Amino acid sequence: MKNFRKKLLRKASSKAQSAMEYLMTYGWAILIIAVVLAALFQLGIFNPMTFAPKAPPGSCQVFRPNGPYTTSFINLEGICSGELPQYVAQFNGQSSYASAPTAQVSKVNVTLSFWVMPAVNGRYVSGCGAAAPGGDNGTVIAYVGNSTDSIEVAYNSSESIYVNGYMEPCPISAKDSVPIGTWTNVIIRQNSTTQAIFINGLQNGVATTASFSGVKPISNLLLGSALGTATGNLGDYNFTGRLANVQIYNTSLSASEIQALYLEGIGGAPIDLQHLVAWWPLNGNANDYSGNGNNGQIYNVNFVSNWYNGYTPP
């Protein structure tokens, strides 16, 4: 009986020793594999969207057979089924911005739509923009305007706007924040008396403003910077984060149209071609795919392909 117990003890000791030797030999390898898998998961390698079809730059565009700004027989051409874009635009918050002409945009009736993923300061957006020198009115996501008239969308705003150097109440601010690290659809809709903001297809704030009737067309667009606004200084109020699928319409889209636009997702095509002024998917370039020729220029903007984390299809 004693010999039997000794054999069992020797066998158990041998197995324990073998297990310890195994762990000593392969434990570091197992740990390294675990760390690598965790890193790959964080990078989105195991995200199912990583393997989803991607639309290359320029794969979908508006065809206008009679030339820019004509509306007869216009239609979409190419891969326009809402596939995810291959790239999005990344702004560094210091020296990067994009500019483009938008000569046909009127401040009276206009809708501006884009997808945004801020990298810092998870707060709300507002329908006003950069402050005058010395003010604090957040960073500019999108600025459509000229030297006298503009529609500006600010992020992390202090709910104020400067007109001719004097602070006035911001026309509108969203009630809910636009968080960092998450893709959000933001739409500003404006007509002659009212400005409204929509977050992910739902109205998130509305303001009745002074009449905009008679305001002359506004002529250019800036993304990611307050350059050209009251500050006049590149480096002030610059946006840090990612942007995609910027669309401008010369009409006030209805609530149902805005909901439909959001449901198309980050790769969605414009829904009202008759009133579409410009469309910058920012899928690898700043070209305008509306058929109106409002191609933009980029300055220190990166186009990144590993953008899927933080995006949930509608």
Question: What's the rounded mean pLDDT across residues 134-149?
Answer: 60
pTM above 0.85, yes or no: no
Residue 106's pLDDT band (cuts 50, 70, 90): confident
At 55-97, the pLDDT tens digits run 999 999 999 999 999 999 999 999 898 899 999 999 988 788 8
Specify the amino acid at residue 217: P
More confident residue, 53 or 150: 53
Residue 299, classified by CB atoms within 10 Å of its CB into exposed (0-12), middle (13-18) or buried (19+), is middle
pLDDT at 135 over 60: no
**Worst-scoring range by mean pLDDT, 44-48, 59-63, 127-131, 234-238?**
127-131
Dihedral angle of Cα 72, 115, 105, 191, to the nearest 10 degrees: 100
Q: What is the pLDDT of residues 267-314, one digit of tens each?
A: 999 999 999 999 999 999 999 999 999 999 999 999 999 998 889 999
pLDDT of residue 68: 94
Report the chain's mean pLDDT, rounded to a whole number.
75
Please, which contacts does 63-71 make with residues 24 or more away whose CB atoms are closer than 8 Å? 63/291, 64/291, 64/292, 68/291, 68/292, 68/293, 69/104, 69/292, 71/273, 71/274
| pLDDT, position 37 | 54
Which of 165-169, 189-193, 292-296 has maximum average pLDDT?
292-296
Neighbouring CB atoms inside 10 A of 177's CB total: 16
